[in-house]
Every structure is written in C-alpha cells, then in structure tokens.
Amino acid sequence: MTEWRYWLNEQRGTLMGLAIFVIMFAVYIVNHPAGLTANVAQTAANKGVLLAFVAMAQAMVVITAGIDLSVGMIFVLTNCLASWIVVGTPMQTTFGVFGVLLAGALCGAINGLLVIKGRLQPIVATIATGAIYFGIALLLRPFPGGAVNEDLGDAMTGQFFGIIPSSLIVLLGAVLLVWLPFSRSETGRAAYAAGSAEAAAFMSGVPIRRAKLAAYILAGLLAGMGGLFLTFFTYTGEAAYASGSGYTLWSIAAVVLGGVSLYGGRGSAIGAIFGAFAARTTGDMLFVFDVDPLWQPLLQGIVLLIAISIGAVGLLRVRNRLDWFL
Amino acid sequence: MAAPQKQSDGPLFRMKDIGKRYGGVRALESASLVVEAGRIHAILGENGAGKSTLIKIMAGVIAPDDGEMLLQDQVVSFRSPAQAAAAGVACVFQELSLIPDLSVADNILISNPPRRFGLIDRRAQRRLAEEALARAGADDIHPRALVRDLPLSRRQLVEIAKALAWKPRILILDEATSALTAGDVTKVFAVLKRLRAEGLAILYISHRMHEIAELADECTVFRNGRNVASYAAGTRSNSEVVEMMIGREVSSAFPSKPAARNSVPPVLECKNLSWTDRLRDISLDVRPGEIVGLGGLDGQGQRELLLALFGVLRGTSGTISIDGVPRTIASPGVARAGTIGMALIPEDRKTEGLMLPMTVRENLSLAALDRLSSRGVVDRKRESASIDEMVRLLAIKTAGPDIPVGALSGGNQQKVVIAKWLTRRPRILLLNDPTRGIDVGTKQEIYQLLRRLADGGAAILFYSTDYDELIGCCDRVIVLYDGRIVKELTGSEITERALIASGLNVQAEPEVAA
C-alpha cells in the first residue's frame, strides 16, 4: 500500500497531465457530432502526434533545467529535408528516413555542444540556432513543394487493423525505444540530477555533460521524427516560420501541462505527450462548439490558461508558504 | 568481522606538504595529515582554517597546487569525486550532495548504479540501497521516498548511506551531525564505532567538542591553512584546544545575563497557537530585553513556531499579540513592518537567507530597501552608510561590499544574514539555529551581539540545537516536544540534564551533587 503511494508521488506530474487530457478529450468527444469513431480518433491522433513529438523533444531538455527554443525550427527543417529525400524506392526511402532523423539529431547535437562546451545560456543559444535551422529550411524549400513516398505516408497516418491510429503506434514506439531506455539509463538519471541540483550532481561524480548532450541530441531526434511525420501528413515540405515558432511555444505549454517542471528535474516525456494532446484538444474543442474563427485564438488562450491552472491547483493546498518556492 | 587489511606497515593514507591558493588567498600551506586504518581521526579548526579545502582535495573535488597524497604508500591523485570514491575515499559533505527530485535509492547509488543490459537494475539498486541504509542505521527510511520530502536530519543519514554504498576504506564526515537530532546522533555514533572496528579509517570534522571527545582516537588542529598540532584524544583540555584553534585566549564564552525583568509587559505574546499537527496550543510571551530559547529535539515544531509567528504559515489558529494588541500577521511583509518590527533569521542561509550570487551590499540592504529609499528610489548614500555600519558592527570579513556574498566564508555569510535584518532595527528578533556549522570565534561574536541587542530593548526568541548555547545565552528556555510546550526552564534551572530530559519528554532525576 505504501509502495503504491510512493509510486503515485513519483508520477504525480505525469498523472496530472493524463487527467487534464482525459477531461478535455471527454468534453470534446461528447460534443462531437460523430462521437468517438475510428476516423475521429485518427484525425485527432495525427494532429496530436505532431505536437507530441516536439513536446517530447522539449521535455528532454527541460528535464535538465534547460530549454530548447529551436525544436520548432528543427521540426520545420526536417520537414523540408524529408520532402526532398524520403522518396523513391523502398530502399531509397529508408535511407531518406534515416537521413532526416540523423539531421534532427545533428541539430540537437549542435545545440548541446553550444550549451555545454560553449557555456551559452540555452535560451539564447537555441534562439540563434533556431534562426539558422529555419534559414537552412528556407534555402531547401523557398516555396512549398516536394513530395514524399506516399505509400509510407499513408501507412503512417492511417489506421492499424482499421481501428487504432497508426501514428499512435509510432509514438508508442518512440516512447519504448527512445524515452524508456533513456529514463532508465545512468545517462537519463544524470539528466534528472543535473536538472534538479547540478552542483550536488557534480559532487556525486555524475556525468552531467554527457547527460545534457544526450538530452539535446535526443531532443533533435524527436523533433526530427515530428518533422518526418508532418511530411507524411501533408505530402509536402514548407519552410513556414509561423508554424515553427508556434510549435516551439506550444511545446513549452505542453510540457508544463504534462507535469514537467520548468525548473528541471521533475516530470517525464510521457507526461509531455499527454500535455501535447491536451494542448491540441484546446483547439479542437472550439471547432466542435462551432466558435467563430475570429474568436478562436483568444478562447484557445483562455482554455489553455484554465488547463494550466488545474495543474497548479496543488499550490492552493500548500500551508507553508515556503513550499511555493521548492 | 574481518581483521583490517594491512599490506604495508605505513599508514593507510598520507598527505604531504599540500598547498592550495585561491587567487591571492592561501587556503592551505604545506599541510600534512596521516590517516590510520581502524581509527577515528578528528579534524578541528575555525571556519576558514583550511579543513574544508583539505578534505575537498582528499575527496577529489579540487586539485592541490603542490604536495602529494599517498594511499598505502602509492602516490595517488584524484581528478573527480568519483575517482576518489572508487579508490576508497568517500565523503559525506557538509553541503548536502543529494538530488532532491530523485528517490532515496537513486541517490544512494547515483554514482555507480547496478546495471543490467546497460540500463539501471532497479531491483538490485533497491536491495543495495536497503543494505546501505541499514548500515547507516537508517532502515526506517523508505528507499522510494523522494529526498525532497525528507527532513534535513533524515537527508543527512541518506548522505551517510550514500558514502557507505561505495564500500570505502576512508570515510570523511564533514559536519555530518550538525543537522541531526540527538537520537540520530547516537545512532550515527554507534555506526561509526562499528565501522572503526571493521577497519575503516574515519576522518571526523565537527565543531562540537563533546562529540569529538566521545568519538575520536586522535585529533589534528588546523589554523590558517596549516596543521598546527596533532595529539591523542583526551590529552588536551577543551580550553587548550580552543586556544590552539584560534591562536589566542578566549575570554568568557558567553556574555553575562542581566537580572530577570518580570515587570516589563511582553512585546510578543501568543496564545493557543496551532497549525496542522505540527503545533499544538503554543502559548508564550517574550519581553523586551529578554532572550528566550526554544529547546527540545530537532523537528519538534520549533521551526514551524518561528515561521508561524513570522506569517509564513497558512491556516494557523490562536492569537498573536504585539504590545498586548492582537494582530493578524499574514505575511513576512506584514511581520517586518514598522508597528510590529519582527525579523526572522532563517535556518538555511543558502536558500532562505541570502541571494548567493548577489553582492554583499545588495544582500545587506535588501530587507530594508523601503527605509533606505525616498519616493521609490534607493538613496545610495544612506545605503552605503547603513552597510558600513553593519559591516563594522558585526565585523564581517569581506574584501568589499561589492563582491558576491557566496564568496564569503560560512561564518561571515551568517553574519550578513543577521546584519541584513538588523538594518531594520527589529524590536522582535526570531532566530532559527543561527550558529549551525559556524566556527567558535564567530559563534561568540554572535552571542555577544544578541545580548547587546537584548540590552538595547529587543525581544529575542532563539531556537538552537546546541544545549551549551541555550544554557549560556538564554534567560528562559521553552522546550517543545511533538509540537507542544512541555517545559519552561528559567535561570539556573537551565541545565544540560534538564534540557535533555525535557527534550525527551521524560522526568529528570534529581541532580545529585558530585
């Protein structure tokens, strides 16, 4: 019984993210004219998964008490790259996919090296690299266009056994192959330690630099997966600045919704996924309530604010004001 | 237990002519130390005498500028704490090295977790953590608990367990008992004695003389970066040791107490103060000119009582009266305001007392900025005058008011915390264990200061874990147990025996004349 309580305490942030998502999605589905059909789920999943990848990427870095303002631009850059190279025969396509993921990881590695070796503040370093990544994207695709292997694209954004959205399966794969091994490795623990108390982690001989670098690289990789998915979804590449910065900002909202502390050391990428789904649902909700498009950004902001407030409700129970700052 | 391993006749560990400079400051100068297996070796010295630098070098946190270290007659150099620990030198630091957001088990095995298929083997880790906790006498701590949820004294035990998980040959404890409750200290001492019997070499750094008297086999005194004397434990008197540490003779340790002033009405009074299950029906009063001590074991509600008076806690019941008038103190901002004039010197100077990266000037004037400004703009001249006064009054050793406060020694940092609040000239001063981890010289300056403030009309409520301090400093001592006042001792009733007995909530046996 007490074991259970300790587990609950460890997973509080992630469970809060799950709860917020479930509440919002339930409101959405109940008011949706078609209800929860396979097609509704597929559309929701495809839109949610894009932000989920970028939010997972953000969570990686935020756990180390950093922040990556270039994730959205890596997402755009890899989208543009994919619209060039993920085409042709299955063999060529496979190489293309690996090329795109490698490019994402490389962008992450550059961010990581600047922050760790260059000792730059993550916030400014990634604003700069984000601009560079967007610049490269623009050179790759001055105008929207390109193509993607449509068989692969359709398989990835379709349905598995006619029910389960296949994009969710891929996301689950990313969790199982990237997040779980990372979070249970020494490097992953070091990432948490560096985010929670960097000096204490150093004193304990924890490999802080390796952990941070790994976090940035994996962030780039995950943002690259997102970019790849965007290409599967749209069949084109587009260097859209608004889309890149939008994804960056929403990824931050998503990790907070998912219970990842911006001070580092707490939360999980799984929480960030729920946060991303919840954040996406804020937009979809307005759709089912048939809100005038003119009002949508304003109302979406209010819904987001309410959702974040639910996550912060725990602070109301705090009886020692000093705990606010912990 | 296996007999201690000895591969050679020489000592287990030896440091020769170690030197270390920080900029222009010499922290260590040809310091030497010999550590034998199966012995507890106490290191004494004022803060800033070089003890911390010495053990940081031993533990691989910093590299020495010159000199050499020999482990079993082999020259060694450690480039990181992990390397030192792998070689068998593990350290329990005074500045806690735990990660608050990780579990106890994660923390204990953070440096070398057991692995399976490249990932951390959580089951094996759990088992090893439980073993280490048991060895440290802390098997009541759940390995899955998050460190952030543990009180300070429990964290310190986790820290010891963490060092033991390395299975070290030399264990260094730097002020490791300063945060422990009396019960935990007893446990830790039993653990240390057992480890000594197992053949471990233990280096023990503490400011508490009676702990050293109980534990140590030999002692080395440091002063100004050099080892000035080594002697077998028990061959020097306390006053001789203190003299060696500070290099001059100490006048009377505590300032004399004035006669009780029962006629003056209390400035601070609380009735039936309660908060959750941590404070129950606390009623007390403090008069101007009085130093009232809060005693008892650590964690019996003393800290919460001070926070409640200072307006930090929400949902308290009962009344707090200032000058006989009931007041609602809703926040520290209200508590410090003119008509109440309260100040709280917090326990943890690094997080609650100081902005470490900010300068001495900024820290000193922070709590009194409203008084030093006119129309919202800080009057630099008045600020400088007030800062100069405080630096002089408390004899703060700083290279200037514009260096970061984090660069000062621990004792001087604590002086800044106190000075920061004194700039407001508080009428009611609450102190939460202000001398923890501070050297003898600074402690005495603080005692003198408190008495001077009291003589000047301040009412002081003072929590301390050090019985000598309560006995020497306080006019009255209120002893808490489980959030309740169990005893009030006045004047000559304040004895170590009475404090310990009431702290444990047992009846003291009548004092027998020797």
Instruction: List the structure tokens of A41.
Output: 């789920």
Please answer yes or no on whether A184 and B119 come within 8 Å at the CB atom.
yes
| Interface-testing mutation among B91, B104, B110, with chain A (most A C-beta atoms within 10 A) | B110
Please answer yes or no on whether B81 and A205 come within 8 Å at the CB atom.
yes
- List, in sequence order, every residue forming a beta bridge with B373; answer none if it has no partner: B378
pLDDT band at residue B24 under the 50/70/90 scheme: low
Assess B393–A contact: CB distance below 8 Å, yes or no: no
pTM, to two decimals = 0.75
Q: What is the mean pLDDT of chain B?
A: 84
pLDDT at residue B111 in the model: 81
Interface contacts (A, B; CB < 8 Å):
96
Rounded CA-CA distance A119/B262 in Å is: 61
Rg (CA), chain B: 24
Assess B119–A contact: CB distance below 8 Å, yes or no: yes
pLDDT at residue B479 in the model: 92
Rounded CA-CA distance B214/B465 in Å is: 18
* Weakest-pLDDT range from A26-30, A70-74, A306-310, B41-45: A306-310
pLDDT at residue A324 in the model: 65
**Phi, psi (rounded to 5 degrees) for B90:** -115, 145
* Whether the Cβ atoms of residue A268 and residue A251 lie closer than 8 Å to each other: no
B9/chain A closest Cα distance in angstroms: 32
Higher local confidence (pLDDT), B262 or B40: B40
How many other CB atoms are found less than 10 A from the CB of residue A301?
11
CA torsion through residues B409, B411, B416, B417, sign: positive
Give residue-wise pLDDT tens across range B197-250.
Answer: 989 999 998 767 778 888 899 999 888 788 888 888 888 877 777 777 766 554
- List, in sequence order, every residue forming a beta bridge with A160; answer none if it has no partner: A164
Please answer yes or no on whether B307 and A320 come within 8 Å at the CB atom.
yes
Q: Which range, A65-74, B48-57, B443-452, B496-505, has the best average confidence (pLDDT)?
A: A65-74
Give residue-wise pLDDT tens across range A250-279.
Answer: 999 999 999 898 888 889 999 999 999 999
A177/chain B closest Cα distance in angstroms: 13
Instruction: List the structure tokens of B425.
Output: 């000239």
Rounded CA-CA distance A194/A201 in Å is: 6
Cβ-Cβ contacts under 8 Å, A192 against chain B: 99, 101-102
B365/chain A closest Cα distance in angstroms: 22
pLDDT reading at B283 higher than 90:
yes
Rounded CA-CA distance A18/A270 in Å is: 9
Going from N- to C-terminal start, the domains of chain A cover 13-28+38-312
**Phi, psi (rounded to 5 degrees) for A199:** -65, -45
Residue of B nearest to A7 (CA): B144
pLDDT reading at B337 higher than 90:
no
Cβ-Cβ contacts under 8 Å, B82 against chain A: 204-205
The HSE-up count of residue B355 (CA atoms within 13 Å, CB side) is 12
Give residue-wise pLDDT tens across range B101-113.
Answer: 999 999 998 888 8
Rounded CA-CA distance B262/B350 in Å is: 38
Comparing CB atoms, the residue among A10, A200, A202 nearest residue B98 is A200
pLDDT band at residue B261 under the 50/70/90 scheme: low
| Interface-testing mutation among B99, B121, B141, with chain A (most A C-beta atoms within 10 A) | B99
* Whether the Cβ atoms of residue B458 and residue B449 lie closer than 8 Å to each other: no
* Weakest-pLDDT range from A91-100, A309-318, B382-391: A309-318
A-contacting residues in B 370-389 (Cβ below 8 Å): none
Instruction: List the structure tokens of B262.
Output: 């029962």
The one-character DSSP state at A177 is: I
Helix (H) or strand (E) holding B91: strand B89-92
CA angle at residue A130 from A127 to A136, to 5 degrees?
150
Instruction: List the structure tokens of B335.
Output: 């508590």
3-class state of residue B30 by DSSP: strand
CATH 1.10.1660.10 fits B283-341+426-504, yes or no: no
Rounded CA-CA distance A198/A204 in Å is: 10
Top CATH class of A13-28+38-312 equals mainly alpha
Rounded CA-CA distance A285/A177 in Å is: 32
Average confidence (pLDDT) over B273-285: 90
Give residue-wise pLDDT tens across range B124-150.
Answer: 999 999 999 988 888 889 999 999 888
pLDDT at residue A171 in the model: 94
Please answer yes or no on whether A319 and B331 come within 8 Å at the CB atom.
no
pLDDT band at residue A303 under the 50/70/90 scheme: confident
How many other CB atoms are found less than 10 A from the CB of residue A243?
17
Tell me the percentage of chain B whose pLDDT exceeds 70. 92
pLDDT band at residue B472 under the 50/70/90 scheme: confident
* Weakest-pLDDT range from A190-194, B350-354, B481-485: B350-354
CATH of segment(s) B13-246:
3.40.50.300
How many other CB atoms are found less than 10 A from the CB of residue B494?
21
Rounded CA-CA distance A156/B113 in Å is: 38
pLDDT reading at A25 higher than 70:
yes
ipTM of the complex model: 0.82
* Whether the Cβ atoms of residue B316 and residue B501 lie closer than 8 Å to each other: no
Spell out where A75-220 has E strands: 159-160, 164-165
* Whether the Cβ atoms of residue B276 and residue B305 lie closer than 8 Å to each other: no
Instruction: Give the DSSP per-residue string, B380-429.
Output: HHHHHHHHHHHHHHTT---S-TTSBGGGS-HHHHHHHHHHHHHTT--SEE
- List, in sequence order, every residue forming a beta bridge with B270; answer none if it has no partner: B284, B320
Domain with CATH 3.40.50.300 in chain B: 13-246, 283-341+426-504
Cβ-Cβ contacts under 8 Å, A205 against chain B: 80-83, 85, 111
